[in-house]
Amino acid sequence: MIGIWLGRTIRSKAAEVRKSYEELFEILRMKFSIIDEDSICCGYPLEIIGAKREMQIVINRVKSLIKPYNIVITPRPGCYKMLRTYLPSYVIKHTTEFLIRYRRDIKKLLKPLNIIVTYHDPCDLTRYLKHIRGIENVDKDDSRY
Q: What is the CATH number of the domain that holds 8?
A: 3.40.50
Domain assignment present for residue 133? The answer is no
Q: Is 71 exposed, middle or buried (0-12, 13-18, 19+ CB in 10 A)?
A: middle
- Residue 38's domain comprises 2-111
Given its phi and psi angles, is residue 29 left (phi above 0), alpha (psi -120 to 50 degrees) or beta?
left
Domain assignment present for residue 91? The answer is yes
Domain assignment present for residue 118? The answer is no
Determine the pLDDT at residue 19: 87
In tens, the pLDDT along 81-94 reads 999 999 999 999 99
Domain assignment present for residue 51? The answer is yes
Determine the pLDDT at residue 79: 92
Domain assignment present for residue 124? The answer is no
pTM for the model: 0.75
- pLDDT category of residue 129 using cuts at 50, 70 and 90: low
In tens, the pLDDT along 18-73 reads 888 899 899 889 999 998 776 688 999 999 999 999 999 999 999 999 999 999 99
Question: How far are the Cα atoms of 19, 38, 77, 105, 108 from residue 83, in angstroms, in the given order?
Answer: 23, 17, 10, 28, 32
Q: Is 100 exposed, middle or buried (0-12, 13-18, 19+ CB in 10 A)?
A: exposed
Domain assignment present for residue 27? The answer is yes
Report how far residue 9's alpha carbon sits from residue 87's, in angstroms, rounded to the nearest whole number.
21
- Domain count of the chain? 1
Contact (Cβ atoms closer than 8 angstroms) between residue 36 and residue 101: no
**Biggest distance spanned by C-alpha atoms of the chain:** 50
**Single-letter amino acid, residue 50:** G
Domain assignment present for residue 129? The answer is no
Q: List strand residue ranges (DSSP E) for 1-145, in order.
A: 2-4, 32-34, 71-74, 92-94
